[in-house]
Amino acid sequence: MRTLFATIDRFATRQPFVIARGTKTDVEVVRVELRQGEILGRGEGTPIYYLGDHALAALAALGQVQAEVEAGATRADLLDLLPAGAARNALDSALWDLEAKASGVRVWQRLGLPQPRPMLTAYTISLGDPATMESEARRVSGRELLKLKLGGEGDLDRVAAVRRVAPHARLIADANQSWTGLDIEALCHGLHALGVELIEQPLPAGADSDLAHLRSPVPLAADESLHDRTSLDSVVGRYRMINVKLDKAGGLTEALALIHAAGQRGLGVMVGCMLSTSLAVAPAFFAAMHAAYADLDGPLLLARDRACPLAFSGSDVHPPEPALWG
């Protein structure tokens, strides 16, 4: 017999985290614990606020399926029991962890993956004026891959300022839906000249048809427009890549299916994360083993992390140890 426990944890950010939609100084996450005898499986999900999700709603959703989960619902059952979101992600992750500990077989082994090694991850620089972003880029100038949060007007100046102090870094950019009314093609060419190799979500979700005939020298990646397999077909022909996040997909189980389906449609994959602790990023690490880009810096953006956290060294994130997850 299983027992399910769920709660809300709050974590402060290391410094204000600024994107085009606003500023965050803390994040609420939902933590799930599944106990089966002496074995404990854990998972974490971050509610995606722009989709209307929030921690109390996720907690309520978990309460509604508690009986089914404690009676033995599987990860496959969760796809019907809960919609994609933080609640399902936390529960799916806890089930993966429980299964690994019960069997003595690590998650990467269950997935047939090679022995995991440290992985290059992007490090995010918050949106700000050019001088502020330049200062932050100078502080982390040794990092190999920087992700720049952009906001519309003045974006070329922002990226140029970062490039001045990080001439050798690889750059990716995230517009967070902020380029409405701008000359997107000109922006893409300008960012290409500055060495940007990927641009996320230039327009609001739902306006993707405006990208169908865009000629961009930089690949565009769908983020807010792409959640799980149900939204995959809507981005084909408009984006060349997708950003897979476990909170959007509703867990590692759906994320892996989404990555496979994207590959069949010729789409490249980036695996990202929300503001979250190492407990949430651990399962995303294994999804990112299938991806061209990993953006798994969530724990680095928080003032504190879980016990037995992921190790970060240089520009790399290390695979999780069993004491953390999986």
Among 110, 139, 156, which residue terminates a domain? 110
Are residue 104 and residue 221 in the same domain, yes or no? no
The reply to whether 33 and 72 lie within a common domain is: yes
Asked whether residue 325 is assigned to any structural domain, the reply reads no
66 and 161 in a single domain? The answer is no
Q: How far apart are CA 92 and CA 198, in angstroms?
A: 30
Mean pLDDT throughout 191-212? 95
Final residue of a structural domain among 110, 137, 167: 110
In this structure, the answer to whether residues 51 and 178 fall within a common structural domain is: no
- How confident is residue 11, by pLDDT bands cut at 50, 70 and 90? very high
Residue 86, pLDDT > 80, answer yes
Give the chain's domain count. Answer: 2
Pair (49, 156) in one structural domain: no
Q: Are residues 41 and 7 in the same domain?
A: yes
Q: How many residues does the chain have?
A: 326
pLDDT at site 141: 87
Residue 147 bears catalytic tag: no
* Residue 324 falls inside a structural domain: no
Question: Do 73 and 144 fall within a single domain?
Answer: no
pTM of the model: 0.95
At 325, the pLDDT band (50, 70, 90 cuts) reads very high
Catalytic residue from among 101, 147, 245, 248? 245
Share of the chain above pLDDT 70, in %: 100
pLDDT at residue 304, as a whole number: 97
Active site residue: 101, 147, 149, 248, which one?
149
Known catalytic residue: 245? yes
In a domain, 296, yes or no: yes
Q: Same domain for 88 and 216?
A: no
Find the domain containing 67 and state its range. 2-110
Question: Which tens digits make up the pLDDT trace of 243-277?
Answer: 999 999 999 999 999 999 999 999 999 999 999 99
Which CATH number fits the domain that encloses residue 72? 3.30.390.10
Residue 322 inside a domain? The answer is no
Residue 175 lies in a domain: yes
